[in-house]
Amino acid sequence: MIKLKLILAFIVLAHNAFGQEAFTAEDILIMNDSIQLPGTLSYNSELKSQPLVIFVHGSGNVDRNGNQGISANANYLKMLNDSLVSRNIAFYRFDKRTATQSNLKFIMADMIFERFVDDINLVINKFKDDERFSSITLIGHSQGSLVAMLVDHTHINKYISLAGPSDSVDKTIVSQVKLQNGDSLASIVRSHFKELNEKGSIEKVDPNLMSLFNKPTQPFMASWMTYNPSEEIKKIMLPILIINGSKDIQVGVKDAEQLHNANPKSELVIIEKMNHVLKIIEKDEDNIASYMSPDFKLSEELVKVIETFIKK
């Protein structure tokens, strides 16, 4: 049974550069047993009540700013936070369990997909009775789109899928490998997933695929591939907004369309020129570069679309 053992909060006051409102950044540490989940809650301290966003990360060791050490430095999550808070929407973002070095020994002992769901349920539990917030909206980005589908929605008011895949992870990865590396390697990936599904492990992993299928990762992949986002989204009874960017090279527009078709009551918005890290890309050659730089502009349309959906 998961227990919330410790919550520490430190409050720092700041002023919005766009006006005189007082904004608060409150650092919060949530513990999932031995796993540390440090995060930041940002909100307008002059309002008695405001909507709250809880952001659910994509894959990798993503921190509360949307960065991954030397692997990515787009700062997109901090930028989205600041943009929405300036519009009087509170925002909670945290360091994913995989972003904290001291968590790794505990993660390796219990490495399955459902632990991400447990983490978000604890975050929701932290804020569900907080009278400062009039509603709670989950924004699930990329892998987090599925995680946010699977959590307990009892205390959630709205759900946003942001660049969320529509297929199970095995099909998604096979498609990505085929696109980037051709049929030959994609065929090997497909056979590895088949063996993992049928036997629970892979006896001999292709050396080129060790980062995907090393022994400690196999139970995680096996648990993740059991979920199909296009089936899970059918179960959501909340208002749903599905967003994707036309320049996203990781999750395509067709994924957003497939999720929308699976739950036709959802709203679908495709943002022109936005990529996977929520930046506006004018030139295709800048797409990958934007992952490594905070200098590319966050999509203003994205912020407006989210604000409209949350406040209506």
**Chain segment 139-180, per-residue pLDDT in tens:** 999 999 999 999 999 999 999 999 999 999 999 999 889 988
Q: How many helices (H) and strands (E) does the chain have?
A: 12, 9
Listed by start position, the domains of the chain span 4-168+227-311
Residue-wise pLDDT tens digits, 198-240: 999 999 999 999 999 999 899 999 999 999 999 999 999 999 9
Structure tokens at 40: 């930041």
pTM: 0.91
75/294 Cα distance (integer angstroms):
5
pLDDT values of the chain reduced to their tens digit, one per residue, 312 residues: 444 433 333 333 344 444 446 799 999 999 999 999 999 999 999 999 999 999 999 999 999 999 998 889 999 999 999 999 999 999 999 999 999 999 999 998 899 999 999 999 999 999 999 999 999 999 999 999 999 999 999 999 999 999 999 999 999 999 889 988 899 999 999 999 999 999 999 999 999 999 999 998 999 999 999 999 999 999 999 999 999 999 999 999 999 999 999 999 999 999 999 999 999 999 999 999 999 999 999 999 999 999 999 999
For 174, other C-beta atoms within 10 Å of its C-beta total 20
Fold for domain 4-168+227-311? Answer: Rossmann fold (3.40.50)
Question: Could you give the 3-state DSSP secondary structure of residue 51?
Answer: strand
What is the spatial distance between Cα 180 and Cα 258, in angstroms, rounded to a whole number? 22
DSSP-derived letter for residue 96 is -
The token duo for 138 is: 């989950």
Match 């539990």 to its residue by tokens: 125
